[in-house]
Structure 1
């Protein structure tokens, strides 16, 4: 099925940083569900919606392929990626490896100014948990907390790797609809991580991060399996 949607995230663009801006618009449309899993990304339709040529759309799709949001099928084009429960589990297993290493390095030799930023981000998570904020805003705030840890660790490889899977992670959470019935619960799950970092306790911080991500891993994969089971044959 070709893309045929109203403007939304797909409004006209100017030419500055065109490929990156097309990629950002498309990623937002995919993560928000405007472009659903399995949707074919028609270069001509998207180019018309964005007011550009097909070339930057094609390049942007390649970038999103690297980010895990789209797949390419020879002679057919690009499609919004569909996931399996195993792929989701693998994604979270990889996140656990990266983020445990990042939080340990943050305590050992990272930027201590990261701690107040993490505390402030928990406040943001509580604020966006209030009525009137959509789930995408909550998911982005959650990912920003983890981004701060990877950035503050002081090894740019951690942040670069995190950014490669950030959009993919956001999409998986958006696919299931929610992690917790009360969005404030999502904010609260970050508190033990910050407390351990503040105490300079690397083992406790590692345990807190593992627990936080492993619970999310279970919730995402289990809810996704339920959704898959509810789909009509």
Structure 2
């Protein structure tokens, strides 16, 4: 594991050697998984040489992979210092959720307007998955991924590929924020339940109600996430 308190080159990154097929994407995926799982913490430096050695590749694909993660908000580049895992803040998350509301309001309105017959079964199945994950006591990463997939389906079903592209660009950063706080609701099933009004509005073909449901759903999450992050920031500052 990389230690953010000691950002010098670590002895090992824990990665295994890779073959050459789809190398950059595979490196990026492995790094993203490690960040999401908390094996590489916010603020930690990504040592290109260590990662390249452990994966059995040159530094070039590692650098390219880091650039990919930079575009998705997981990694940031510091001039003359290298790549670091994004440090999450309440202010940055508030901006992110504000942006999500804009995108998903438009996406759900378009979905309803053009007809959601093919998307509704997928959304209902994803809510079932959210309940399953909660009942099984899966970790926060599984819960967050199930939640984000629901919202991705709305963007995908809207028929506007731009919504999906933008959603995918900000998804990892959203996940990272949720994973850092550890939980959103005291009752894991509450996360699943909060999606029900969205499905009801879409099924009714009521665009205004669907937009209002998205507004409330993401707005409530925005408030909870930012409150919890401010508490974490206050504790760190003491």
Bucket of the pairwise TM-score, normalised by the shorter protein: over 0.9
Alpha-carbon offset, residue 229 of structure 1: 1.1
Which one of the candidate residues 118, 132, 135 is aligned to 1:113? Answer: 118
1:95 counterpart = 2:90: no
User: Residues 113-140 of structure 1: CA distance to partner in whole angstroms, max 9, x if unpaired?
Assistant: 1001000000000001124411101100
Gapped regions of structure 1 (runs ≥ 5): none
Aligned equivalent of 1:127: 132
User: Residues 162-216 of structure 1: CA distance to partner in whole angstroms, max 9, x if unpaired?
Assistant: 0000001000100111100111000000000000000000010001000000000
Aligned equivalent of 2:204: 199
- 2:52–2:62: 8 Å Cα contact kept in structure 1? yes
Q: Distance in 2 between matches of 1:193 and 1:114?
A: 13
Q: Distance in 2 between matches of 1:30 and 1:223?
A: 20
Which one of the candidate residues 184, 189, 205 is aligned to 2:194? Answer: 189
User: Alignment length, in residue pairs?
Assistant: 231
SS at match of 2:76: strand
Gapped regions of structure 2 (runs ≥ 5): 1-6
User: Residues 126-166 of structure 1: CA distance to partner in whole angstroms, max 9, x if unpaired?
Assistant: 00112441110110000000000000000000000000000
1:137 counterpart = 2:142: yes
Aligned equivalent of 1:68: 73
Counterparts in 2 of 1:120 and 1:231: CA distance versus 1, 3 Å = same
User: Residues 33-77 of structure 1: CA distance to partner in whole angstroms, max 9, x if unpaired?
Assistant: 110011000001111222211110000000111111111111110
Q: Distance in 2 between matches of 1:183 and 1:50?
A: 36
- 1:110–1:152: 8 Å Cα contact kept in structure 2? no
Q: Distance in 2 between matches of 1:33 and 1:224?
A: 17
- Cα RMSD for the two superposed structures: 1.3
Aligned equivalent of 2:83: 78
Aligned equivalent of 2:3: none
Q: Which 4+ residue blocks in structure 1 deviate beyond 6 angstroms?
A: none
